[in-house]
A and B are shown apart, each in its own frame.
Chain A
Amino acid sequence: MIFIGILIVFSIIVMTLLGPWIAPHDPFKPGVGPPRSPPTSEFPFGTTRLGQDMLSRVLTGGAVMLQVAFLSALLCFVLGVPIGLFSSYVGGKTDKIFSMVMDSLYAFPGLVLAIAIAAMFERGVISMSFAIAVVYIPSYFRIVRSQVLTIKELPYTMAAKAAGAKWHTVLSRHILPNVIPSIVVVMSVNFADAILTAAGLTFVGLGVSVDVPDWGYDLTSGRKDLASGMWWVITFPGLMIILLALGFTLIGEGLSELTSPRLKE
């Protein structure tokens, strides 16, 4: 399973890297073909209302998605997991304060919060990733926190302490490895979510500028054209996003199996 996932994600990465060279047309240039053309042999994915070649746009449009997905997941992981671990393990007032902050973040609709945060910074991949990370950190925090609450009471945690382990050893060697399977699942779901939120940010003009090809942009702008029967503008970038999300999900599933010995057999 993990191999199929890696294969999908890896193919998409390669495709995006090679996109500018293998694309048959300039992805931005209007009028390379007839406008609003359905898929034909010359334009296998059809053209946009401006006559841009959809195939070229699909081949080159993954860069932003990929960068944002990886960067935001990394940020979530690096911030959400340690905060969750620490807060839950220490408990008491510290935990209450962290939980309150995280819950209030969680209460916002994701996209609205992401828009608000992205609007504070300059447009670009980093601000998008940061905005998305802030939206998803509470999910990581909550999962980690609830898992740690259970695990820290389990006998093997006590046994580790009784064996003379330091508190950070208990946390990093005994509790974290048992939380990781759940984190990986959240991560694979959030990858897919992050991609969609990134598409949403692009839609309201907070993504990268319009002269960078982006599936999210095509997906959201193509929604208008769907009413006039132009299914291809939204379908192909949409399929790519689904495929990428699927790849991440498969990797996540595979990783969660690899990290929990009971599922490995």
Chain B
Amino acid sequence: MSLLEVDHLTIDYKTRRGIVRAVNDVSFSMKKGETLGLVGESGSGKSTLGLSLVRLVPFPGVIRSGHIRVEKKDIVSLRDKEMRSIRGSKIAFVFQDPMTSLNPVKRIGDHFIEFLRTHTPHISKKEALKRAKNILDELGIPNERINDYPHQFSGGMRQRIMIGLAIALNPSLVIADEPTTALDVIVQDKILGILKDLSRAHDMALILITHDLSIVLERCDNIFVMYAGHQVEYGKSEELYRDPKHPYTQKLLQSIPNIELADQKLDAIPGSPPDLLNLPKGCPFWPRCPHVMAICRIKVPPIISLGSGHLVKCFLYGGTES
């Protein structure tokens, strides 16, 4: 059964200089317990897409069109009160910067108490603390530190606490927006491992938003690649790794440094991501694309299915006839 369905979603930011289309006609779906890697450069719309799933797109962003269905319920048109009851309990969020994601004047225990009470008002303080301690245990944080303040923890520990808060109510979906960008590589590996293990243990679906294709390739079931607000490729991780179809994905994979080939010159994608206020006509990637054709400069390519759920938005695989 599908847990999440995003259907032709378009999100605009109305800025003074014009409309920025951060998410442009994006569709995908997720099953229960599935892990999805959402990959894109800065400004590709991946964070906006993530936030839209809990309807917290920051001002001046608006969901222009499309649907987001969580267990068949369309949350785009949901009333605020119902939306609030979904946030945290059904869909939880782990933010990028663990240093500032915890309230500096609140003890860790208070974070748990308040969070648990938001959704289960009847729970006693004692009960909430007991649950918090169990969660800390599960995350490998000594539970006697429950009365410490956020600044007394290291970055990695804080991110584990954030993850602990996210899973406290057993949500069916956890969205982690670059959860390890602010951490060093060793801690990054640990945190991602924890997220993966928890999602398996609690049967939670996980969306891992990142700019680093390499960290999601081995950890996620499926990969969703975004470029300038467009979805460019979607498919199973192995398939995407073995046989990437979209020129952008191919380039991304080539630009992952290989530790065994020390002398290899790193392959970079020429040019830079487009200005979202001033997108090129047609496919947004054509100015940097090695296989650019005449039609790419005129029309936005359709989404083409290559079988077994592999989707690509590129004229190289068809759609040129119509």
Contact = CB atoms under 8 A, between A and B. Distances in A.
B122 to A, nearest CB: 16
B54 A174 contact: no
Given A159-B93, A259-B105, A154 B87 contact: no
A161 B102 CA distance: 12
A230 to B, nearest CB: 51
Contact of A178 (B54, B87, B103): B103
A156 B111 CA distance: 11
A260 interface: yes
Interface residues of A, number: 21
Given A160-B103, A261-B149, A169 B118 contact: yes
Interface string B89-120: 10011011100111111100000001100110
A261 B151 contact: yes
B92 A155 contact: no
Contacts of B149: 261-262
Interface in A231-260: 259-260
- The binding surface of chain A is classed by DSSP as helix
B84 interface: yes
Contact of B103 (A162, A174, A259): A174
Contact of A163 (B97, B104, B118): B118
Given A261-B149, A262-B151, A163 B115 contact: yes
A23 B116 CA distance: 59
A174 B102 CA distance: 10
Interface residues of B, number: 28
Contacts of A178: 103-105
A174 B92 CA distance: 18
A166 interface: yes
B252 interface: no
B118 A156 contact: no
A260 B105 CA distance: 6
Interface of B: 54, 56, 84-89, 92-93, 95-97, 100-106, 114-115, 118-119, 149, 151, 162, 165
Interface of A: 154-156, 158-166, 169, 173-174, 177-178, 259-262
11 contacts: A156-B100, A156-B103, A159-B95, A162-B92, A163-B87, A163-B115, A163-B165, A165-B114, A166-B84, A169-B118, A261-B105
